[in-house]
Amino acid sequence: MSLVSIAREGSIAVVTIDNPPVNALGQALRQQLWDAVAALDADAAVQAVLLICAGRTFIAGADVSEFGKPPVAPHLPDVVARIEAAAKPWVAAIHGAALGGGFEVALGCRFRLALDSASVGLPEVGLGIVPGAGGTVRTPRVAGVAAAVDLVTGGKPLRAAKAQALGLIDAVVSGDLRAAAIAFAQEAIGKPLPLPASARPVVAPEAGFWDDQQAAITKRAKGEVAPLHALACLRKATEVPFAEAMAFERETFLALRGSDQAAALRHVFFAERAAPRPAHLGAAQPLPLRAAAVIGGGTMGAGIAAALRDAGLPVTLIERDAAALERGVTNLRAIFDGAVARGRLTEAQAAERLAGVTASTDYASLAGADLVIEAVFEEIGVKRAVFAQVAAVCRPDAVLATNTSYLDPAAIAQGVPNPARFIGLHFFSPANVMKLLEIVPTPDTSPDVLATGFALAKTLGKIPVQAGICEGFIGNRILKRYRAGAEALVRRGVAIAAVDAAMRGFGFAMGPFEAQDLGGLDIAFLQREAARATGQDVPETLGDLLVRAGRKGQKTGGGWYDYAPGQRKPQPSATVADLLADQIRAEGQMDGPAIAEHLVAEMAAEGQAILAEGIARQPADIDLVEIHGYGFPRWRGGPMFHAQNRAG
């Protein structure tokens, strides 16, 4: 199949790559590019070559699906070198994104042009590898070492204008990219050419630069190895000749490509891309989403409203009375003000987000909503009463959703006319930041309404995972097992701080006890108490003992740990040791890795039960829930991937 075509515009050859969906550089494309260079070199009528791509984007990189297999020639570094050494200058014309190997091909071209909407980058570390076709060796020669370190070790793409400012792009154009690039190439013909990237000098940074970077990246990476290897490649590029640095980069790339971390990150890469379009949705059609409403302006309601506004949807916010409404609007304003303070929004954008919110205590304002998301108190009576009011005023086809954490959405929907439009949409706190959305259909939910949940996730930039109905759905159910496992270790004599340190060592930002102190121990306690009040046999947890002693976490000055006033640093607590003394058996210690493996195995075992019950549809969904909702280290692939790899 022809993935590369060549056309003529006078003395300019236009090489077009057409390899949908993202022009990834699989073996066939590499071969055809190689052949195109040879053919054009031999063509005396050609004075310059334009490299452009069909479809939604320039080359998005190497073909990640080839990474599990042995590399087959021609290898990408050779293709890039061939382009760089071509007898005619090559001009890359970039639209969409030039990423990874795609940007490395562009760096092999003598000139790079980009549409103003384009971006370029070297995101390889996100796949557990380093650039493998000269990205770490050419980038510092083109943009300087500091910019190269940011680009390669951070992995974040740059917008065209920023890339131009750094010298990575020669010209930014708008409108017709092909025409602009042909004009640019025409202009370049006959003029002295800039040095190819490989021939440019690289300026070594000041003393101490590498040590500082090493320290900062080690801290940030929390066990992820690719960013440090990327730094080592960049350093090498400043210390040895080009060819030697290329060999070092290639060796590192090939070694990492076969690593466990890279396999885990590839698993997550493909799981994330598959999540928005599960096959079982079939031909179901999402309903139009033009206007949304949120009931309850507390922690979750305000966050959900902000997420909806960030996606450009007009939002009606309903609260139970004027004072609560005032608080709800204040919560929303605080979210947008925070975004301004962090430089994510301008004052004007924040004002526009807020202006798109209609705040009211009158349910009649819901009449125009296509989607209503309830985020009121976690009490079934309150939620049912809310939906009775909502159903009385909404269109009969408006989608009605609950953000409940633990209640049964089907039970909440009882009494709602047309329950086919009812669904659980479980957001995570802060709802405008966290990427995960658990989608919980009831037995009555229609396929189109289910598809609407997935469409909403796409609109909001979230990762959707479908969950069946059980207490805690997927994520909170696994969290409960994780916490119980952690408490069981403490009962066996493992120190609280040792458990937290072990989970940090594994790659979590926080251990289970520190996290509870931050979020508050009382929420789970109250839930257990409510279950006990209905006669359920809920065993007393260690956390219950702490809450009964007034230790609810940081907000009360202590929970599992003590906190100095105004401080967030956990200090092991003698009071807690006393409170729990008669619960703890001195059975001995476990080392950090053993603790972490034990607790992750607990998560995976719960995940297995969840799969067996049909609550989750596939192991990768559980991995996405843990990574995007609970801070499971991405580079470990999620608990199911991790458990399977250890077993196999």
Binding site for ligand NAI (CB under 6 A): 295-301, 318-320, 324, 328, 375-378, 382, 386, 403-405, 426-429
Smallest distance, ligand 3HC to C-beta of residue 57, A: 5
Of residues 63 and 621, the one with the C-beta less far from ligand NAI: 621
> What's the token pair of residue 614?
């049909």
Q: Decide which of ligand NAI, ligand 3HC, none touches 296; Cβ closer than 5 to 8 Å per partner kind.
A: ligand NAI
Smallest distance, ligand NAI to C-beta of residue 514, A: 17
Burial class (CB within 10 angstroms; exposed 0-12, middle 13-18, buried 19+) of 595: buried
Smallest distance, ligand NAI to C-beta of residue 432, A: 13
Pairing label, strands 158-159, 119-121:
antiparallel
Of residues 161 and 526, the one with the C-beta less far from ligand NAI: 526
Residue by residue, DSSP assigns 120-183 as EE-GGGGGTS--SSSHHHHHHHHH-HHHHHHHHHH---EEHHHHHHTTS-SEEE-S-HHHHHHH
Q: Could you report how far apart the first and last alpha carbons of the chain are, in Å?
A: 37
The answer to whether 294 touches 305, Cβ cutoff 8 Å, is: yes
CA atoms within 13 A on the CB side of 256: 28
70 sits near ligand 3HC (criterion: CB under 6 A):
no
Smallest distance, ligand 3HC to C-beta of residue 256, A: 10
Q: Decide which of ligand 3HC, ligand NAI, none touches 135; Cβ closer than 5 to 8 Å per partner kind.
A: ligand 3HC
Smallest distance, ligand 3HC to C-beta of residue 35, A: 20
CA distance 361 to 640: 45
Of residues 78 and 379, the one with the C-beta less far from ligand NAI: 379
61 sits near ligand 3HC (criterion: CB under 6 A):
yes
The answer to whether 25 touches 60, Cβ cutoff 8 Å, is: no
Residues in contact with ligand 3HC, counted by CB under 6 A, come to a total of: 27
Q: Decide which of ligand 3HC, ligand NAI, none touches 403; Cβ closer than 5 to 8 Å per partner kind.
A: ligand NAI
Q: Decide which of ligand NAI, ligand 3HC, none touches 318; Cβ closer than 5 to 8 Å per partner kind.
A: ligand NAI
The answer to whether 583 touches 597, Cβ cutoff 8 Å, is: no
CA distance 207 to 345: 37
CA distance 24 to 19: 7
**465: which strand partners?**
438
Q: Decide which of ligand 3HC, ligand NAI, none touches 89; Cβ closer than 5 to 8 Å per partner kind.
A: none
Residues 93-122 that bind ligand 3HC (CB under 6 A): 97, 99-101, 104
Task: Please enumerate in sequence order all residues whose Cβ is within 8 A of that of 356, keeping only pairs 6 or more positions apart, or say none.
Answer: 309, 313, 314, 315
56 sits near ligand 3HC (criterion: CB under 6 A):
yes
Stretch that binds ligand 3HC, among 58-66, 450-458, 465-473, 528-536 (CB under 6 A): 58-66
Longest dimension (CA), the chain: 89
Of residues 164 and 405, the one with the C-beta less far from ligand NAI: 405
Q: Decide which of ligand 3HC, ligand NAI, none touches 637; Cβ closer than 5 to 8 Å per partner kind.
A: none
The answer to whether 539 touches 583, Cβ cutoff 8 Å, is: no
Residues 145-184 that bind ligand 3HC (CB under 6 A): none
Residue by residue, DSSP assigns 12-80 as EEEEEE--TTTT-B-HHHHHHHHHHHHHHHT-TT--EEEEEE-TT-S---B-GGGTTS---SSPHHHHH
Q: Decide which of ligand NAI, ligand 3HC, none touches 52; Cβ closer than 5 to 8 Å per partner kind.
A: none
Q: Decide which of ligand NAI, ligand 3HC, none touches 127; Cβ closer than 5 to 8 Å per partner kind.
A: ligand 3HC
DSSP 85: T
CA distance 338 to 88: 52
CA distance 35 to 114: 25
Stretch that binds ligand 3HC, among 126-134, 164-172, 313-321, 368-376 (CB under 6 A): 126-134
Q: Decide which of ligand 3HC, ligand NAI, none touches 285; Cβ closer than 5 to 8 Å per partner kind.
A: none
Of residues 63 and 522, the one with the C-beta less far from ligand 3HC: 63
CA distance 506 to 213: 22
Question: Nearest Cα to 270, choosing from 5, 620, 630?
Answer: 620
Tokens 């990474």, residue? 67
The answer to whether 302 touches 325, Cβ cutoff 8 Å, is: no
57 sits near ligand 3HC (criterion: CB under 6 A):
yes
Catalytic residue among 426, 598, 628, 642: 426
> What's the token pair of residue 325?
């409404």
Of residues 27 and 358, the one with the C-beta less far from ligand 3HC: 27
642 is catalytic: no
- Mark 263-302 with x for binding to ligand 3HC (rule: CB under 6 A) and - for no binding: -------x--xx----------------------------
DSSP 508: -
Given candidates 15, 53, 60, 416, which one binds ligand 3HC under the rule CB under 6 A?
Answer: 60
Q: Decide which of ligand NAI, ligand 3HC, none touches 404; Cβ closer than 5 to 8 Å per partner kind.
A: ligand NAI
> What's the token pair of residue 300?
């979750």
Given candidates 108, 128, 135, 558, which one binds ligand 3HC under the rule CB under 6 A?
Answer: 135
607 sits near ligand 3HC (criterion: CB under 6 A):
no
Question: Nearest Cα to 435, choosing from 218, 155, 632, 158?
Answer: 632
63 sits near ligand 3HC (criterion: CB under 6 A):
yes
437 sits near ligand 3HC (criterion: CB under 6 A):
no
List the Cα angle 335/337/343 in 5-degree steps.
105
Given candidates 5, 8, 35, 65, which one binds ligand 3HC under the rule CB under 6 A?
Answer: 65
Helix (H) or strand (E) holding 252: helix 242-257
Of residues 184 and 427, the one with the C-beta less far from ligand NAI: 427
CA distance 130 to 136: 8
The alpha carbon of 404 is separated from its chain's Cα centroid by a whole number of angstroms, namely: 23
62 sits near ligand 3HC (criterion: CB under 6 A):
yes
- Mind telling me the catalytic residues? 426
Footprint on this chain of ligand 3HC (rule: CB under 6 A): 21-22, 24, 56-57, 60-65, 76, 97, 99-101, 104, 123-124, 127, 131-133, 135, 270, 273-274
